[in-house]
Amino acid sequence: MTDEKNNTGYRNTGNRNAGDYNTGDWNTGDWNTGHCNAGHYNAGDWNTGHYNTGDWNTGGRNTGYRNTGGWNAGNYNTGNRNTGNWNSTNKETGFFNTTQSDTVRVFNKPCNRKEWESANKPYLLYFDLVQWIPGGEMTDQEKFNNPTYKTTGGYLKTFDYKEAFQKSWNNASKEDREKVKALPNFDADVFYEISGIRVDEPSCAGKVVEIDGKKYKLTEV
């Protein structure tokens, strides 16, 4: 399919796209809101990987820039899950490292790396900052704010970090929430500062409330 904007894909609102459902320009992948992406679901630009919100990444799910690895919040990394820069190893918070240290900082305190890596981390900690919303699931306000949904069939909703964290927490099971509190060095105040979530708020479970003259005992869901 070709249109006046020189797109060969479908439902593009940008220009010169070879993929589908793009709102940016010069994309060869699909569902991109940025420009010049060869991968899919990118909100950044010049990505060849997938699910990147940063730019110039060849790996996937990076929020940083110019990474060839994946899940990096830092920049210029060839490894994975780095928050520092210029590392060719994995899970490093420093700079220009090729080997891992034996300790990492967890909740602002030193922690043995093996202890941290073997800790049972719940799925709720691995959340996305973008989500494709099909047109049939959009609210009237979302349709008003994103009129291009008529062409693209939906829109790519972006969440800020704490909003996405809260959404993941709300959808998590009680068991997964307890796993967060069981992490090494867990600190409720530090967790709140990062996520905006208070895990130590008193529970309403067991309390009795009266509604229309009838009493009900609350249970936690």
pLDDT surpasses 80 at 216? no
Q: What is the pLDDT of residues 145-197, one digit of tens each?
A: 988 888 888 888 888 889 989 999 999 999 999 999 999 999 999 999 999 99
Average pLDDT of span 34-44: 86
In a domain? residue 153: yes
Least confident of 1-10, 35-44, 125-134: 1-10
Provide the domain count of the chain.
1
DSSP the chain: ---TT--SSSS-SSSS-SSSS-SSSS-SSSS-SSSS-SSSS-SSSS-SSSS-SSSS-SSSS-SSSS-SSSS-SSSS-SSSS-SSSS-SSSS--SSS-SS--SEEEETTEEEEHHHHHHS---GGGS--SEEEEEGGG--HHHHHH-TTHHHHSEEEEE--HHHHHHHHHHHS-HHHHHHHHTSTT--HHHHHHHH---SSSPP-TT-EEEETTEEEE----
Of 149, 124, 122, nearest to 23 by C-alpha is 149
CA pair distance 53, 51, nearest whole angstrom: 7
Output the pLDDT for position 26: 86
Residue 3 forms part of a structural domain: no
Average the pLDDT over 18-26 and give the result.
86
Q: For position 11, what pLDDT does the model report? A: 83
Percent of the chain topping pLDDT 70: 93
Residue 207's pLDDT band (cuts 50, 70, 90):
low
Examine residue 142 and state whether it is found in any structural domain, yes or no.
yes
Query: Tens digits of per-residue pLDDT, 86-136?
Result: 888 888 888 888 888 888 889 999 999 899 989 999 999 988 778 889 999
Look over the chain and give the mean of its residue pLDDT values, rounded to a whole number.
86
pLDDT of residue 203: 55
Q: Of 11-15, 141-145, 166-170, which gets the smallest average pLDDT?
A: 11-15
Q: Is 154 within a domain?
A: yes
Q: How does DSSP assign 100-165, residue by residue?
A: --SEEEETTEEEEHHHHHHS---GGGS--SEEEEEGGG--HHHHHH-TTHHHHSEEEEE--HHHHH
Q: Specify if 179 maps to a domain.
A: yes
Q: Residue 211's beta-bridge partner residues?
A: 214
Residue 174 inside a domain? The answer is yes
Give residue 202's pLDDT band: very low, low, confident or very high (50, 70, 90).
low
Task: Answer whether residue 144 is part of any domain.
Answer: yes
| Angle, in degrees to the nearest 10, between helices 161-171 and 188-195 | 120
pLDDT score at 209: 75
Q: Which domain holds residue 118?
A: 103-195
pLDDT band, residue 2 (cuts 50/70/90): very low
